[in-house]
Structure 1
Amino acid sequence: MQVSFACTDHGLKAPRNGEHSKQNATSPNTASQARARFRTVALIARSLGSFTHRYHHNLKESTAKLTGMKYRNLGKSGLRVSCLGLGDNFSRLCQVAEQLMTIAYESGVNLFDTAEVYSGGKAEIILGNIIKKKCWSTATNMLNGLISVHCFLHFFLPLSSGLKGSLQRMQLEYVDVVFANRPDSNTPMEEIVRAMTHVINQGMSMYWGTSRWSAMEIMEAYSVARQFNLIPPVCEQAEYHFFQREKVETQLPELYHKIGVGVVSWSPLACGIITGKYENGVPESSRASMKPYQWLREKIMSEDGRKQQAKLKELAHIAEKLGCTLPQLAIAWCLRNEGVSSVLLGSSNPTQLTENLGAIQVIPKMTAGIASEVDHILGNRPHSKRDYHH
């Protein structure tokens, strides 16, 4: 199960003195009433969700005045998320996890992502402890317009018990989105969609999405949802970067326009390949030098890997022209895609995270001309159906 949480107030204003104490003093009856109202809102929103996408008017990308962070709808749902999110195994970074989350939060990030499989749930515990320590607002605040913390969960069946365990570890009452991992061939699609619908109807989540599903599988889930009056997915998590383009650029756009499924992309720097640190081989301190990442080392040292490094050298000139770093160019390039709601960043230290968050300033510079230059260097632009119509 993978979890992400977000704070949807676009301004991300710091709470005034006394706000947290007022929230903590909330009586059990008030909290119960808030949860009941939340479930009612969830049920009403979901009952209309299957029909509203046709008439949905996309909100324009908004920008926080204080942080410069940009916000987009998650697919064509009503949930607004920061276009950059923080996703990683926080248990692996337990010494700096709080520092990384704080930097991201104060920069306007409202989407954090981890998984139950990371260190047997330890990552979720660390996330929950940080949220509690920082007094970042929780479920009841979504109802009155204050800053609210949202979570997205990735499930490994059984769904309900897995979600309850994650919520307990994170000390949260609900999450915004639950993500189902790619379905087992032996698991009927109807069972998955019904399970996700049950989770939402129980008030444990507002939406659900898919992770590493094919376009055909997503469409099947949507069709099953319509057939049995269940709840369809609103987004797909997919790998997307300079050297992985086919799915996000040719398959998912059609789903975005037809059924409102957006994209939360991951690995914008291709496991560090796009950072440029492998230009002259594999440094001893790098991830690719570790035994568990032997596959990455082999990929970098292969003929294709050497060709990629040559292309990155050329792309570095474009980054220099735009006054940014190569990683910032790569991240901004991912965000140029209209169907991409948010890009998950995986950072191992504060300096790297701060640099990557700076990609926000590069987005306006990603003109059609720059995109064309990038395509020319990469030479791997996939052909969409629209291309064949011209």
Structure 2
Amino acid sequence: MDKRKFGNTSLTIAPVIFGGNVFGWTLDEQASFSILDEFADAGFNAIDTANNYSYWVPGNQGGESETIIGNWLKQKNNRSEIVLMTKVGGGFGGDSKLNTTAAYIIQQAEESLKRLQTDYIDVYQTHYDDEVTPVEETLRAYEELIKAGKVRYIGASNFSPKRLVDSLEASKEHQLPQYSSLQPEYNLYSREKFEKEYRDIALKYNLAVIPYYSLASGFLSGKYQTEDDFNQSARSGGIKEQYWNDRGRKIVEQLQEVADNKRVSVSAVALAWLLAQPTIAAPIASATKAAHIKSFVEASRLRFNSEEIKNLNEASNFYIYE
């Protein structure tokens, strides 16, 4: 499978990153191992997780996803073949708060390394910016971890545009490690915030963009085509409320049309649209069954003609709904 250069790093990744939020949540360890085997066997090599996944599951404390990934890496003995990404700074539910202080980052890095059963993290990302800690303090913590060989590169996720630019400029001014990647919410439905506020920053600083919610919580997977499709589960109600409107219906219809013409899954079309956008290194997507991995493969191979891109862009155009 063709690999893509990851921003300004020496890393190369396959065109879809596995989203590890499902490990310890919708998948137990055995099922997680099976789906990771499918993912790696298909030629993919990048996994994204976080220190607090899957704290929201009753009985969990956070760190379960990293633990499962670490056990899989040990079993397969394939650490050198995997680009491993994890995150720090997010809360663990309840009264826990966002935290990007140096002491916290250093301490959490050690815990993540133990759970992942590895000596180093390829891309260590600020999950959420606490917007209080000076950006230089956060970056100096990463500098310490990089010098110790425990982290190779760093990335940013949920930042305000100003704090992101402040961080990037501080890196240049103080000769500190610079964020190499940006993980925003971005998909065919949720385009406006990224395209208006972050895309130019990503272009200017050569950030590798790795979007989360690439399939809009499953709305862009093809499973929701009619009103009746939202009666499948309690979770579907929230998806319907957020996405099922005139614009959402147009997007789904256009995705289905392209999928039918290309003879691929709707998910593959939605992921391939992201891959066709400037600055996008690879979308993050989760999988719970082999069919999902098949859609990842389809997306990596899919190429659009100008008419298909035009139609997808027009169906998802947010300007006309402002």
**Same fold per TM (> 0.5)?**
yes
* Change beyond 3 A, Cα 1:114–1:376: same
How many residues are treated as equivalent by the alignment? 296
Structure 2 counterpart SS, 1:209? strand
Q: CA deviation at 1:240?
A: 1.3
Does the 8 A contact of 1:278 with 1:309 survive in 2? no
* Change beyond 3 A, Cα 1:220–1:297: same
**Letter aligned with residue 103 of structure 1:** E
**77, 91, 102: which one aligns with 1:135:** 77
Q: Distance in 1 between matches of 2:253 and 2:189?
A: 14
Aligned to 1:151: 84
Aligned to 2:63: 121
Structure 2 counterpart SS, 1:338? coil
Q: Distance in 2 between matches of 1:301 and 1:247?
A: 19
**85, 91, 99: which one aligns with 2:17:** 85
Q: Distance in 2 between matches of 1:132 and 1:282?
A: 44
Q: Distance in 1 between matches of 2:88 and 2:227?
A: 37
Q: CA deviation at 1:114?
A: 1.6
Does the 8 A contact of 1:319 with 1:326 survive in 2? yes
**284, 307, 316: which one aligns with 1:344:** 284
Does the 8 A contact of 2:189 with 2:251 survive in 1? no
Aligned to 2:272: 332
**151, 164, 180: which one aligns with 1:218:** 164
Q: Distance in 1 between matches of 2:166 and 2:72?
A: 38
5 Å-filtered alignment, 1:48-87, equals 69-87=1-19
**Letter aligned with residue 68 of structure 2:** I
**283, 305, 310: which one aligns with 2:244:** 305
Alpha-carbon displacement from aligned partner over 1:186-213 (angstroms, at most 9, x marks no partner): 2221211111222211211111010122
Structure 1 spans left out of the alignment, 5+ residues: 1-68, 139-147, 383-390
* Change beyond 3 A, Cα 1:212–1:368: farther
Aligned to 2:184: 238
5 Å-filtered alignment, 1:224-373, equals 224-281=170-227, 286=232, 289-290=233-234, 293=235, 297-301=237-241, 305-307=244-246, 308-362=248-302, 364=303, 366-373=304-311
Q: CA deviation at 1:149?
A: 3.2
Q: Report runs of 4+ in structure 1 exceeding 4 Å deviation.
A: 282-286
Question: Please, what TM-score do these two structures have when normalized by structure 2?
Answer: 0.85
Structure 2 spans left out of the alignment, 5+ residues: 55-59, 90-98
Aligned to 1:167: 113
Question: Please, what TM-score do these two structures have when normalized by structure 1?
Answer: 0.71
* Change beyond 3 A, Cα 1:282–1:170: farther
**36, 44, 48: which one aligns with 1:109:** 44
Q: Distance in 2 between matches of 1:341 and 1:174?
A: 22
Structure 2 counterpart SS, 1:86? strand
**130, 134, 149: which one aligns with 1:184:** 130
Aligned to 1:375: 313
Q: Distance in 2 between matches of 1:248 and 1:161?
A: 31
